[in-house]
Amino acid sequence: RLAVQVGGWVVSRFGARPPADAELRRRLAAHGVDGVSA
């Protein structure tokens, strides 16, 4: 489920390495992951 959330976020962004944003942090936090740098 975590991989689906992150994958969904990645494919909705432009570029090879999009910076982490609030939406990504929210998706990760929903799965108990924190400490993602921008």
Residue with tokens 């992951």: 33
Q: Which sign does the torsion angle of CA 29, 38, 21, 13 carry?
A: negative
Q: Is the pTM of this model over 0.85?
A: no
| pLDDT (0 to 100) of residue 17 | 87
Who wins on pLDDT, 1 or 16?
Answer: 1
Q: What are phi and psi of 16, to 5 degrees?
A: -75, -35
- DSSP string for residues in 3-38: HHHHHHHHHTSSSSSPPP-HHHHHHHHTTT------
CA-CA-CA-CA torsion sign (30, 32, 35, 38): negative
9-33 residue pLDDT tens? 999 998 888 899 999 999 999 999 9
Residue 34: band (very low, low, confident or very high) from pLDDT cuts 50, 70, 90: confident
pLDDT band at 38 (very low <50, low <70, confident <90, very high): low
